[in-house]
Structure 1
Amino acid sequence: MNHLIQLRHTLHQFPETALEERQTAQRILEFFRPLAPDQTYQNLGGTGLAFLFKGKKPGKRLLFRCELDGLPIEDLNPSDHQSQIPGKGHLCGHDGHMTILCGLGEKLAQNRPESGEVVLLFQPAEETGDGAKAVLSDSRFEQIRPDFAFALHNLPGYPLHQVVMRKGTFAAGSTGMTITLTGRTSHSAHPEAGINPAEALAKLIQELPKLPQEANGFALLTLIHAELGSLAFGTSAGKGSLSMTLRAYDQQDLDELIEKVKTTAEAIATSEQLKVEFSFVEQFAVSVNDPSLYPEVEKAAKGLGLSLIEKSDPFRWSEDFGLFSQICPSFLFGLGAGENCPQLHEGTYDFPDEMIETGVGMFWSLIKNS
């Protein structure tokens, strides 16, 4: 594992954020060249990479996916592999996930599967929710469209190497949403001459957080930012905005919550004679695990002698692997990063190197058992 650990440390030192992962992709490409995959796809969905390994006989195509991007967060963990890029860090473990797929690539180069094909996908821009959509929209994706797709994510707070599983929803769907209200500026001495969105903004701040209570299942609306006019004391504001994150365990619940927000905002805007517009960013589909793949993942974990736990509720965070569950049977599982490991997206987080071998073992078992 030493060479893989060194690779992980190098990736950790030079993180790149969403859709800028060119240097990272180049490092991965150089690692795979001597492994001689049957097909290599570059610039997939932007900066993505995919490597196809053919089995000895025809059969199903399995896809294993990891993420290329780091975060725009300072790496605060002093180490010999601390990030060399100011303000950026691999603080979600994507450096470790990439290394696991590199280790899997080495195994495939030495031992092709008996049947079928294996695709190793290095996806860009997971953190913003743009990457999976870009990859799936790439015309070349049809050449590697899988019959089954798998991914893992490290999970701080769980015992090291423990496999965390769920049937159905594994992680919530979410979207960032901004409501923009436009009225008309006026002199602050004559506010009645303009249309100030302040009162409408105040009503939205009061009313919108109540909407998830009407959902059938889990739904959450978190206000994250509000803006009104500018710091010009002689001017009554003519524009305002309110941004929020919406989450749900069910895609229909998420879609319905979005519509309720729109309806509420439109009604308030109309009553205040304001123009209203909506915009969306960082849209993540619900990650749904196909129940038919549960026994396969369970068998892999037990075969490696790993502790296994079934989580009673889905995770509230989102993962854009959810889009893959809309095109084929898919399964996302967690791998414990240690009970005392700093949480994801914290400045002191660092992917535990011991997990690399476990991750490779899980994916290799899924290939052998397919």
Structure 2
Amino acid sequence: MVPKENQVFTLVEIFKKMILNQLIQLRQELHQTPEIAGEEGNTASKILSFFSKMGPDEVIENLGGFGLAFIFKGKTAGPRTLFRAELDALPIQESGNPSYKSKIDGKGHLCGHDGHMAIICGLGEKLAGQRPEKGELVLLFQPAEETGEGARRILEDPKFQRIKPDFAFALHNLPGFPLHQLVIRKDTFAAGSIGMTITLTGKTSHAAHPEAGINPANAIAQLIQTLPQLPEKLNGFALVTVIHAEIGSLAFGTSAGRGYLSLTIRAFDQEELDILIQRIEEKVKSISESEKLIFEISYREEFAVSQNDPEAATIAESTMKELGFDIYDKPEPFRWSEDFGLFSQSGPAYLFGLGSGENCPQLHEPTYDFPDELIETGVKLFEAIARKINQ
């Protein structure tokens, strides 16, 4: 007996619903077992298991750490297009109370990386059902996004040459914007940033005879006053934020001989960010020498500027319009940073936002939870972009 047309349509809809439910279930399982940067082994295993039924043409494991790449090949030569999700969670205690609340004390998927992973898994389901006509599609699961280490490790891994893309795409959910709204920007999407710690070493002495020592207090006071003013000499947006300062210890009989100052430095332009860092280093050197201090500078959590490529933007944004999405073209870049920025500094890339609701708790808040409704939206858009380039 041949099923009627409406019956076939119903079966298709039922199958789509089953797939979506599987993705929601996966997202909630990932939410329950978060792993922070550098510890994503079990998360990677869950993703690997989910993809095992899809039969990708090639799988690359341990990419830049616990990273994974799944490759779906077309019938003929063509461009290589990469879509990225993040594996890591945050070292923050979840205080919301979903039925799938984090089971790991002090850790939570409070940035939505669990949802981003589910979207890329959904894209994998689509590609498994229909391979691209040409080129290759790469689905990348990146470790250590939150610390700004993962992208660099992937790019420096020799295995990356196997998946180096002609185009790379990523999204990030954005609380405060209407659910399903797409937030776009040409040129700079998000700032680059870096954490700097300045260590100043002098000489301790008795507090009754501070002249016998070299106390870094005056130097740190000067740096706190002058460093945040350096961005004023640049053309574009830049910001130096003092986040921590420490001098000596709580010993009232001792004049301090060592001090620390930590800053976050950010800018919308990569060249200006580099210039600002150089000027800060010069100012630290100058003040340290005048105060007879030895200085050391260390860096961590380095994020490149997320720069959207014009051709990649045209492809993505034309697809968004064809699908009839609500689109908001943001007049200014975001001040926060994203590790995807390093991909954009190494090749054509495009990052955009996906609204997760105007009343959704902000990212990194302990009550945040990724809206499952966004999974289908993300899959639909990513698949359409993939088909446009590789069909």
**TM, length-normalised to structure 2:** 0.93
Per the alignment, residue 188 of structure 2 pairs with 169
Structure-to-structure mapping, 1:306-321, within 5 angstroms: 306-321=325-340
* Residue number among 2, 6, 9 corresponding to 2:28 in the alignment: 9
Is 1:128 the equivalent of 2:147? yes
Once the two structures are TM-superposed, the CA of residue 267 in structure 1 deviates from its matched residue by 1.2
Is 1:187 the equivalent of 2:206? yes
After superposition, give the CA deviation of every residue in 1:185-244 in whole Å (9 maximum; x if it has no partner). Answer: 111222111101011111111111111111110000100000101112221110001000
Per the alignment, residue 369 of structure 2 pairs with 350
**TM, length-normalised to structure 1:** 0.99
Per the alignment, residue 91 of structure 1 pairs with 110
Is 1:263 the equivalent of 2:282? yes
Is 1:228 the equivalent of 2:228? no
Q: Which amino acid aligns with 2:354?
A: L
Is 1:252 the equivalent of 2:271? yes
Once the two structures are TM-superposed, the CA of residue 300 in structure 1 deviates from its matched residue by 2.0
Q: Which amino acid aligns with 2:187?
A: G
Quick one: distance in 2 between partners of 1:368 and 1:140?
Answer: 25
Per the alignment, residue 78 of structure 1 pairs with 97
Q: 4+ residue runs of structure 1 moved beyond 4 angstroms? A: none
Q: Which amino acid aligns with 2:265?
A: L
Q: Which amino acid aligns with 1:46?
A: G
SS of corresponding position for 2:300: strand
Once the two structures are TM-superposed, the CA of residue 305 in structure 1 deviates from its matched residue by 2.0
Quick one: distance in 2 between partners of 1:254 and 1:299?
Answer: 31
Aligned length: 370
Once the two structures are TM-superposed, the CA of residue 124 in structure 1 deviates from its matched residue by 0.2
CA contact (8 A) 2:305 2:345 kept: no
Identity of aligned residues (%): 64
After superposition, give the CA deviation of every residue in 1:110-135 in whole Å (9 maximum; x if it has no partner). Answer: 10011110000000000000000000
Gaps of 5+ in 1: none
Once the two structures are TM-superposed, the CA of residue 293 in structure 1 deviates from its matched residue by 1.8
Is 1:365 the equivalent of 2:375? no
* Residue number among 296, 299, 302 corresponding to 2:318 in the alignment: 299
Is 1:54 the equivalent of 2:73? yes
Give the CA RMSD over aligned residues: 0.8
Quick one: distance in 1 between partners of 2:156 and 2:275?
Answer: 25
Which structure has the greater CA radius of gyration?
A: 2
Gaps of 5+ in 2: 1-19
Per the alignment, residue 6 of structure 2 pairs with none
Quick one: distance in 2 between partners of 1:91 and 1:56?
Answer: 40
Quick one: distance in 2 between partners of 1:143 and 1:369?
Answer: 22
Per the alignment, residue 162 of structure 2 pairs with 143
Once the two structures are TM-superposed, the CA of residue 9 in structure 1 deviates from its matched residue by 0.3
Quick one: distance in 1 between partners of 2:318 and 2:124?
Answer: 21
SS of corresponding position for 1:35: coil
Per the alignment, residue 172 of structure 2 pairs with 153
